[in-house]
Amino acid sequence: MRRDIFQAIADPSRRAIIALIALQAMTPNAIAEHFDTSRQAVSKHLRILTECELVKPEQRGREIYYQLEINKMKEIDKWLEQFRKIWETRFNQLDNLLATIKKQKK
């Protein structure tokens, strides 16, 4: 079953896992050390992130390391870009309004 990327990042634990492995690949046990949940709960989160293709498992000897899939993160960023432009426009409008009010008070 293919899951939606946005369902995956909606969960705070999965976002924390993404942040952890953003800089280096980690094993499930190493990831689990950062959480107060069971190793099985972390494995479930990793399975969902893998199904969404946000992380990729890589076998290294006996261990499986999970690493971030940058291209999928770019897909999220691309979707957010439309909102970033709206927010920037609104912030610029607010800056202009505040500057006008400040000038009127002088």
37-84 pLDDT, tens digit per residue, is 899 999 999 999 999 999 999 999 999 999 999 888 888 888 889 899
- 6 and 29 assigned to the same domain: yes
pTM over 0.85: no
Instruction: Based on the fold, state whether residues 103 and 63 are members of the same structural domain.
Output: no
Exposed e or buried b per residue across 10-47, where buried means at least 16 C-beta atoms within 10 angstroms of its C-beta: eeeebeebbebbeeebbebebbbeeeeeeeeebeebbe
Same domain, 13 and 62: yes
Task: State whether 54 and 99 are in the same domain.
Answer: no
Domain containing 89: what range? 70-106
Kindly report the average pLDDT of the chain as a whole number: 91
- Per-residue pLDDT band at 4 (split at 50, 70, 90): confident
